[in-house]
């Protein structure tokens, strides 16, 4: 528990430190960055896979525009769009659908948009069109990169400026378009890119901030759950012996009694009392008495190892054991093992009338639950058997049948 609290505190400190970093910082520390990428992948995977399919559909549908605008050379444009650009885009799309990490899907999406941009530039190089109307296709690719996909800032930056450089090289050194169109288109792309950069940066910054805040909230919820769990454990656990307390015993016994009734399984109760415990406390003090309670509790617990069994502190020097699905004979045998295990601890008792060591007395009762029997009747019978064991000299096991109504 302490290690968990320490880890949570360390992680919380790291997250809060990230919030205080410069506004322009888009990278977390190594440990937090890895978790952010996992978070981003889980949040964006389905959306990005849908986006690539939509993007491919748009890319292929633009073949209709090729046919309408440049009908005389549409076959060549089809060759560029479908034969040159189609196969690699389909391959990249397939790889995106199969991607396993955030980095893979981001890189593959970047590659797909660069391919689409290169195909558009190649078509522009082929066309003898001084207006370079297909430059608008580059803005669509940039728009898709900056806004419609969810790429991180570094990838959108690479796509946007790469396409501008490619366009500049084509327009200035190859095609030599009308100067007014070139200047207008070039500056439009530049400013479109700058606006896209701001949008992409803000988007990733918001994602990172949201991740930090949601992580802090989750840590606080985790701490709250741990605190509630701890409080619950404290409320149902005896702080001295670490055994379940009487409150938990009541909840457990009531639940198991109903289950046993449905399954027609037997239930056994063993009431246990440390012999002359008050005398021990008076002789050696309460600290030594507490030590005895802990050792007896551990001895009793070591005997009952089945998942459905319960050993609880009933109060003072009394303990109770609930056993499900064993016979009366087996319950008596187990009670005798408990008696002997405590005696074998050889804890000196300076004022016992029956032994020089700490001993226990036990009362056992077993029954199959029925409509005319209450669970308290079983406890009462075991308590009466314990009283009988004390009356007959202590350090012994006695049994008693449950009285039916």
Residue 95 has what pLDDT? 95
Residue 5 has what pLDDT? 60
Active site residue 251: no
Q: Are 362 and 338 in contact (CB under 8 A)?
A: yes
Mean pLDDT by runs of 10 across the 405 residues of the chain is: 63 80 83 88 89 91 87 90 94 93 92 92 77 73 85 91 85 66 76 89 90 86 76 79 91 90 91 96 94 95 83 94 93 96 96 95 94 88 96 95 75
Residue 8 has what pLDDT? 67
Domain 246-399 fold is Alpha-Beta Plaits (3.30.70)
Domain boundaries, the chain: 2-220, 246-399
Residue 74 has what pLDDT? 87
pTM above 0.75, yes or no: no
Task: From 344, 137, 368, select the one nearest 265 (Cα to Cα).
Answer: 368
Instruction: Catalytic residue, from 18, 317, 384, 398: name it.
Output: 317
The alpha carbon of residue 383 and the mean position of all alpha carbons in its chain are separated, in whole angstroms, by 46
Distances, alpha carbon 245 to alpha carbons 250, 319, 328, 338, 376, in Å: 9, 9, 25, 19, 17
Give the chain as a 3 state SS string: CHHHHHHHHHHHHHHHHHHCCCCCCCCCCHHHHHHHHHHHHHHHHHHHHHHHHHHHHHHHHCHHHHHHHCHHHHHHHHHHHHHHCHHHHHHHHHHHHHCCCHHHHHHHHHHHHHHHHHHHHHHHHHCCCCCCCCHHHHHHHHHHHHHHCCCCHHHHHHHHHHHHHHHHHHHHHHHCCCHHHHHHHHHHHHHHHHHHHHHHHHHHHHHHHHHHHHHHHHHHHHHHHHHHHHHHHHHHECCCCCCECHHHHHHHHHHHHHHHHHHCCCEEEEEEEECCHHHHHHHHCHHHHHHHHHHHHHHHHHHCCCCCCEEEEEECCEEEEEEECCCHHHHHHHHHHHHHHHHCCCCECCCCCCCCECCEEEEEEEECCCCCCCHHHHHHHHHHHHHHHHHCCCCCEEECCCCCC
């Amino acid at each position: 528990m302490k290690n968990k609290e320490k880890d949570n505190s360390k992680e919380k400190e790291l997250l809060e430190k990230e919030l205080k970093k410069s506004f322009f910082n888009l990278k977390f520390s190594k440990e937090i960055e890895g978790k952010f990428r996992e978070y981003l992948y889980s949040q964006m995977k389905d959306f990005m896979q849908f986006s690539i399919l939509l993007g491919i559909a748009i890319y292929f549908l633009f073949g209709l525009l090729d046919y309408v605008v440049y009908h005389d050379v549409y076959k060549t444009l089809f060759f560029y769009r479908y034969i040159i650009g189609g196969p690699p885009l389909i391959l990249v799309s397939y790889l995106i659908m199969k991607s396993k990490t955030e980095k893979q899907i981001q890189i593959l999406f970047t590659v797909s948009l660069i391919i689409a941009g290169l195909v558009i530039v190649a078509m522009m190089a082929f066309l003898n069109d001084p207006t370079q109307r297909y430059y608008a296709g580059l803005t669509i690719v940039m728009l898709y990169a900056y806004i419609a996909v969810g790429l991180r800032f570094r990838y959108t930056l690479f796509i946007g400026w790469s396409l501008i450089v490619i366009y500049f090289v084509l327009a200035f050194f190859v095609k030599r378009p009308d100067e007014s169109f070139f200047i207008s288109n070039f500056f439009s792309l530049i400013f479109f890119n700058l606006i896209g950069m701001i949008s992409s940066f803000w988007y990733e910054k918001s994602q990172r901030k949201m991740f930090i805040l949601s992580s802090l909230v989750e840590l606080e919820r985790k701490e709250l759950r741990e605190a509630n769990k701890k409080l619950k454990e404290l409320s149902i656990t005896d702080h001295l012996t670490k055994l379940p307390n009487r409150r938990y015993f009541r909840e457990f016994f009531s639940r198991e009694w109903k289950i046993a009734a449905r399954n027609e399984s037997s239930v056994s109760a063993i009431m246990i009392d440390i012999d002359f415990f008050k005398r021990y406390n008076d002789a050696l003090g309460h600290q030594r008495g507490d030590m005895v309670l802990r050792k007896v509790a551990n001895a009793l617990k070591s005997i009952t190892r089945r998942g459905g069994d319960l050993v609880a502190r009933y109060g003072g020097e009394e303990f109770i054991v609930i056993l499900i699905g064993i016979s009366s004979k087996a319950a008596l045998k187990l009670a005798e093992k408990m008696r002997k295990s405590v005696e074998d601890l050889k804890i000196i008792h300076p004022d016992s009338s029956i032994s020089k060591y700490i001993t226990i007395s036990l009362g056992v009762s077993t029954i199959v639950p029925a409509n005319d029997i209450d669970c308290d009747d079983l406890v009462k019978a075991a308590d009466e058997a314990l009283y009988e064991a004390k009356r007959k000299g202590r350090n012994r096991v006695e049994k008693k049948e449950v009285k039916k109504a």
